[in-house]
Amino acid sequence: MTQPTDPRGKIANAKRLVVKVGSSSLTTSEGRIDLSRVHHLVDVLASAALAGRQLVLVSSGAIASGMAPLGLVKRPTDLATAQAAASVGQGELVAAYSGRFAAHGLTVGQVLLSADDIGRRAHYRNAQRTLERLLELGVVPIVNENDTVATDEIKFGDNDRLAALVAHLVHADGLVLLSDVDALYDGPPDRPSSSPVREVHDASDLELVTTSGAGSRVGSGGMRTKVQAARLATDAGIPVVLSSAALARTAVAGGAVGTVFHPTGRRQPTRLLWLKHGPDVVGRLVLDDGAVLAIVSRNASLLPAGIIEVTGSFEAGDPVELAAADGTVIARGIVSFDASELPALIGRRTAELAAALGSAYDREVVHRDDLVLI
């Protein structure tokens, strides 16, 4: 059977799909969780799952779900109370999802992730294995940022990047981002002169959007994070649809709603995807012009001879940045030497190092298989 080449067709035929829904799509005007909206979303996803598709739901809403049980009349602004609300609300939210999915004969599993789980290679692999096994068992994983310990999610209210990373983790065939806006617009959605952007092939299609002024959805931060998440996913060959939760059924079916983002890259090995998007680097290697050219143009490994400066404190196996002499970061890589070892090696050829220090030094500082261009 010929696979569709258009992104909506790929979404429609996606065997494995990640769906992200934001708090604003699940809450009332008072900011509390709206069970009717939760049930509508579950009914859509359950229908897809029962048709043989594997679904991963990335859901915000933990803090909103915790407000009523704690007697809060408005969303908390201090970190401790927000984390407490998330702690109570996460259970409430998953219970709501679990009950409605159970009505369709489906089981859910809760997966809480933090930035640390994405940033550390071992944690990343563990999360990947857990999600993969849940899907194999026919379970619908419900993923959320671990709000009780992670402050960024509470501060920015954004699970979009997490959804894109989860799409990487599970090798999804498509990503659907649901919000309270039906598409990406070239200006504030409530302004009559604003128009929806129906297709995004590359960054040039976003020029009008990103220059539409401080009042635009992109400028406000809500849509900006969704565009960033879409880029993260499409960079690995995953098509993305951005639409409203009210249009979830049509969006999941690949219908003509919302904004579709065309894949711009190809699937990469999981290790390289993690390296590019997951960890915080712990050091920097500054390279001469020859080494920059070799890495960027010839897919070469980094040798000691091409390094002119080392900064940071790291050990062999840590992620580091590779930068040109002007400070431009060109790549990330897994370094094979400790930071304390490298100053004595920089600028020297491997054959010279092997003769002077032994055969253990006849190796790359960063092998091309552990290196990804930025």
pLDDT of residue 293: 96
Is the model's pLDDT at 1 over the cut of 70?
no
CATH code, domain with 298: 2.30.130.10
- What would the pLDDT profile of 4-63 be if each residue is shown by its tens digit? 679 999 999 999 999 999 888 888 877 678 999 999 999 999 999 999 999 999 998 888
Q: Same domain for 173 and 311?
A: no
For the domain that residue 156 is a member of, what is the CATH number? 3.40.1160.10
Question: 267 and 285 share a domain?
Answer: no
In 156-277, DSSP assigns E strands to 174-179, 184-185, 196-197, 199-200, 240-244, 259-261
- The answer on 288 and 250 residing in a single domain is no
Which pLDDT belongs to residue 115? 64
User: Does the predicted model carry a pTM greater than 0.85?
Assistant: no
Chain segment 138-193, per-residue pLDDT in tens = 999 999 887 666 555 444 346 888 898 899 889 999 999 998 889 988 888 888 88
Q: Identify whether residues 240 and 121 lie together within a single domain.
A: yes
Say if 2 falls within a structural domain: no
Q: What share of the chain is helix, strand, coil (3-state, %, to 5)?
A: 45, 20, 35
d(CA 33, CA 361): 59
Per-residue pLDDT at 337: 92
Residues 266 and 302 in one domain: no
In a domain, 294, yes or no: yes
Instruction: Select from 250, 272, 294 the last residue of a domain.
Output: 272
Q: Which domain holds residue 320?
A: 281-373
- Same-domain check for residues 143 and 238: yes
Is the model more confident about 137 or about 27? 137
**Confidence band for 100, pLDDT divided at 50, 70 and 90:** very high
Q: Would 257 be classed as within a structural domain? A: yes
CA distance 334 to 274: 11
Last residue of a domain, one of 241, 272, 303: 272
Residues 321-346: what's their mean pLDDT? 93
**Do 216 and 356 have their domain in common?**
no
Statement to judge: residues 266 and 300 lie in one domain: no
| pLDDT of res. 116 | 64
Residues 6+ apart with CB under 8 A from 373: 295, 296, 330, 331
| pLDDT greater than 50 at residue 211 | no
Section 309-323 average pLDDT: 92
Residue 133 shares a structural domain with residue 255: yes
Q: Any idea of the CA torsion for 205, 210, 213, 217, to the nearest 10 degrees? A: 90
pLDDT at 221: 43
Between 191 and 241, residue with greater pLDDT: 241
Total number of domains constituting the chain: 2
Q: Which pLDDT score is estimated for 228?
A: 84
pLDDT value of position 32: 77
Task: Point out the domain boundary residue: 272, 303, 323.
Answer: 272
Same structural domain for residues 211 and 301?
no
Q: What is the pLDDT of residue 38?
A: 95
Does residue 109 register a pLDDT over 60? Answer: yes
Task: Please report the pLDDT score of residue 120 as a whole number.
Answer: 67
